[in-house]
Amino acid sequence: MIVEITPEFLEKEMTRVGAHPVSFEIFERKAQIIPLKIFNISSPTANIIKQEMLSLGGDAIVHKNVINCKVENSDIILLGTKKHYELLLQKLEKNNYFDLPRVFQELKEYLLKEKVREISSPWGRVISFNRTLVMGIINVTPDSFYSGSRKMQIDEILKTAEDMIMNGVDIIDIGGQSTRPGSEPVGLEEEISRVIPAIENIRRNYPDVLISVDTYYSQVAKLAVEKGADIVNDISAFRFDESLVKVVAELKVPYILMHMKGTPKDMQKNPYYDDVIREIIEFFEERIEYANKNGVDPEKIIIDPGIGFGKRYEDNLEIMARLKEFKSLKKPILIGASRKSFIGKALGDLPPEERLEGTLGITALCVLNDVDIIRVHDVKENKRVVKVLEEIKCIRSSLQ
């Protein structure tokens, strides 16, 4: 009989075999191949790295014409365990020719850098990333794509917030304009009149709950934080209002940075990607660097791939299938897929009102892939899915 062991249960199985506990860490570093892709490496560098990996017992995948240098550059996929990569770093450290210093630095940063475990808001409230958090949506708008999320009156806003809190919401996200495909932007004063009273009232009645403001206006963000908001959730990644980056930096507020092609009005007009994952990650790297240069604490940035924002159906599916690849940036990840059109299409073109079960499936996928925050309309149902899967994950983590 042969059984392939679930990686999280390796230590338990080593104990059953009778291995010495001192050896557990050594075996765990050898147990799992981690494919790492490095982009745009010169052919001589790619040849050297491939030979070094082979000498260590690993391997590397390169362009077929790298061996004779008929191509100038190649992406490279390393195939090795943590042990292989540690040994590769030792070999590369003393080599200062071709692209080897860059490969050494990128590999070292990737292996050593860890995602933050928690982020504090300007008010001292803490976002802890020890499990998948549920962010509940309250749209103070008359035209959001899902009618069930529209709450315009203070009494219904407070009732919705109360229901969310009773059902275990971790963060409440307040937005004052619809960003559905084709939507027109709402003016600054109108957004302020919608968002600020909602935040004021929720904070007054529920002093401990984390509040996020969904805006790309710097003035809305500043007022919202002053009235008690903890997080700025910006679909534009600092591109629609040049003053927003200064506000986020000055207030030292956690910031959700989202990927989107175009604007909500035109984002679904024939979006196209050659390599959707690579392009989104490159976008994040550029925007994080921009934020850092402008004084934003990079340890307070949360990334959102922007499901449905300038994406085709197949792009949304590929993002969901490859969620773990976004962890390469070592940032907390938010996914906002609740009741979106790709779910409706997967279910046979169902309307938003009939996409709950599909949304719950996406939530389960997110939890199993260790997504840090899910942004949803239906807190109770999604929270229950999260709870069950987190219990299962606790069994796994208790063995590590």
Known catalytic residue: 108? Answer: no
Collapse the DSSP code of 18 into the 3-class scheme (helix H, G, I; strand E, B; otherwise coil) and give the result: coil
Name 319's Cβ contacts closer than 8 Å, sequence gap at least 6: 276, 277, 280, 305, 307, 311
Alpha-carbon distance of 172 to 212, in angstroms, equals: 6
Contact present, 279 and 315 (Cβ < 8 Å) = no
Alpha-carbon distance of 142 to 150, in angstroms, equals: 6
DSSP 150: B
Known catalytic residue: 203? Answer: no
Listed in order, strand segments (DSSP E) in the chain are 34-42, 59-61, 73-80, 118-120, 126-128, 133-139, 171-175, 210-214, 231-234, 255-258, 301-304, 334-335, 373-376
- Please, which contacts does 110-115 make with residues 24 or more away whose CB atoms are closer than 8 Å? 110/36, 110/328, 111/82, 111/85, 111/86, 113/330, 114/330, 115/327, 115/330, 115/331, 115/332
Q: Which of 375, 380, 384, 387 is catalytic?
A: 375
Q: Which of 125, 227, 311, 340 is catalytic?
A: 340
Neighbours of 104 (CB within 10 A): 19
Contact present, 248 and 271 (Cβ < 8 Å) = no
Question: Which sequence positions are flagged as catalytic?
Answer: 340, 375
